[in-house]
Amino acid sequence: NASLLGILQHPDGTVLKQLQPPPRGPREQEFYNKVYDSDCCDNILLELREYLPKYFGVWSPPTAPNDTYLKLEDVTRKFNKPCIMDVKIGQKSYDPYASAEKIQQQVSKYPLMEEIGFLVLGMRVYHVSSDSYETQNQHYGRSLTKETVKDGISKFFYSGCCLRKDVVAASIQKVEKILEWFEGQTQLNFYASSLLFVYEGSCQATTVRLSDVTLAEKRRVPKGLLSGGDVLEYNNNIHVINSTENGKIEASVSKGLSKFYALHKKACSKRHHSQLSLKVENLEQDNVWKTSTCIMQEHLNGNVLPQLEKVFYHVPAETKESANVEVRMIDFAHVFPSNTKDEGYIYGLKNLITVLQNILDN
């Protein structure tokens, strides 16, 4: 089953996606190699990189040199409570070379694909009120009709107490950028490829815009964070990366799970990883820990915000201003050279934007 792929979390901030059997796996590898070729000077492909996870080549475990994994950026890593949705885009989820049997199988899975142009493969949403995640698998997406698809997708933006219109608006902007790219290229057609949406589900202080000093003061950011251990934990994720650069795969191995839930499992286990590495002897030599101590010190001097800014915010200022949302294209086992616009994918993107806009307006 194509969806039963192992995705492993590497301590260096990447994920490892096991290569599918030929021809799909080699085709996906070839796609990434082409887009990320260091000699690439094609502006279409160079711009495409903005919409993909970063690619770091392939990797094989020393114990099983024939097992090949794509080494990709973990798009969920920077989030504290990542909310994730995987949406397959296009009017056909079978490629031009598919057998009649394969076409029949794909169409019967979701007969509305042609009409709706996309399919929700799964989602995982953090509910603030209950401090828990709600997940929906692909049966949920396949149950959506033209009439219910808007409500079905709005579930992803509902945090248990409110509709995150800021996230919907930011998502529309990101999808529109991808649509612009598709409108301007006639060299690649994508089938059975997905968009991965990720946003921050928690409203903890880590997501407070520090430029808004009064808000941070109102919420007593430093004290609450330190007593809750969040600063230590956040820093400690950095520590995990440093302490495992020898490349030991201390990974949450999720073979036998669909790639989507493997991602979730990994996101949940991130906290677990960081606590495992909280060994006292490491802390003493860990500069990041010293930074936390220095926050405590600064807090006493009443000058905590600049310090927090240093620890938390390694992201450019403009990303903090709008909702922190990632929309990336993933899954490229069925990408083919072309000399026409990818009308099926464009149709799906436009329809998805319309649905998102309706969620925003109503």
Tens-place pLDDT, residues 127-155:
999 999 999 999 999 999 999 999 999 99
Whether residue 277 is contained in a domain is answered as no
User: What SS3 class is residue 248?
Assistant: coil
30, 84: one domain: no
Decide if pLDDT at 360 tops 80: yes
130, 62: one domain: no
> Which pLDDT belongs to residue 283?
33
- Strand partners for 132: 127
Whether residue 177 is contained in a domain is answered as yes
> Which pLDDT belongs to residue 7?
84
Specify the range with the lowest mean pLDDT, choosing from 73-77, 119-123, 311-315. 311-315
Sequence-separated (6 or more) residues with CB below 8 Å from residue 115 = 146
> Which pLDDT belongs to residue 256?
29
> Which pLDDT belongs to residue 204?
59
How many domains is the chain built from?
A: 2
Strands 69-73 and 82-89: unpaired
Give the domain-ending residue among 14, 43, 74.
74
Rounded-to-integer distance, Cα 326 and Cα 362, Å: 23
> Which pLDDT belongs to residue 322?
66
Give the domain-ending residue among 26, 56, 74.
74
Whether residue 162 is contained in a domain is answered as yes
90, 11: one domain: no
DSSP state letter for 193: E
Rounded-to-integer distance, Cα 184 and Cα 281, Å: 55
**Per-residue H/E/C for 127-148:** ECCCCEEEEECHHHHHCCCCCC
Percent of the chain whose predicted confidence (pLDDT) is above 70:
65
Q: How much is the average pLDDT of 2-24?
A: 83
Whether residue 154 is contained in a domain is answered as yes
Whether residue 99 is contained in a domain is answered as yes
Strands 118-127 and 132-136: antiparallel
pLDDT category, 6, cuts 50, 70, 90?
A: low
Contact 259, 18 (CB under 8 A): no
Closest CA to 122 of 194, 61, 69: 194
pLDDT category, 1, cuts 50, 70, 90?
A: very low
83, 196: one domain: yes
Q: How much is the average pLDDT of 281-296?
A: 33
Whether residue 39 is contained in a domain is answered as yes
DSSP 24-75: HHHHHHHHHHHHT-TT---HHHHHHGGGS--EEEEE--TT-TT--EEEEE-T
80, 183: one domain: yes
Give the domain-ending residue among 44, 74, 104.
74
Within a 10 A sphere around the Cβ of 167, how many other Cβ atoms? Answer: 22
Whether residue 35 is contained in a domain is answered as yes
Query: Mean pLDDT, the chain, as a whole number?
Result: 76
Rounded-to-integer distance, Cα 260 and Cα 84, Å: 9
82, 199: one domain: yes
Strands 335-337 and 82-89: unpaired
Segments forming the whole domain that contains residue 13 = 1-74
- Strand partners for 195: 87, 329
82, 198: one domain: yes
> Each residue of 298-333: pLDDT tens digit?
333 344 333 433 333 333 333 344 689 999 999 999
158, 92: one domain: yes
101, 179: one domain: yes
Percent of the chain whose predicted confidence (pLDDT) is above 90:
63
> Each residue of 193-248: pLDDT tens digit?
999 999 999 985 344 444 443 343 333 333 333 333 333 232 223 222 223 333 33
49, 135: one domain: no
Decide if pLDDT at 165 tops 70: yes
- For residue 185, what is the domain's CATH number? 3.30.470.160
85, 174: one domain: yes
> Which pLDDT belongs to residue 274?
34
pLDDT category, 5, cuts 50, 70, 90?
A: low
43, 148: one domain: no
Whether residue 30 is contained in a domain is answered as yes
Rounded-to-integer distance, Cα 167 and Cα 218, Å: 24
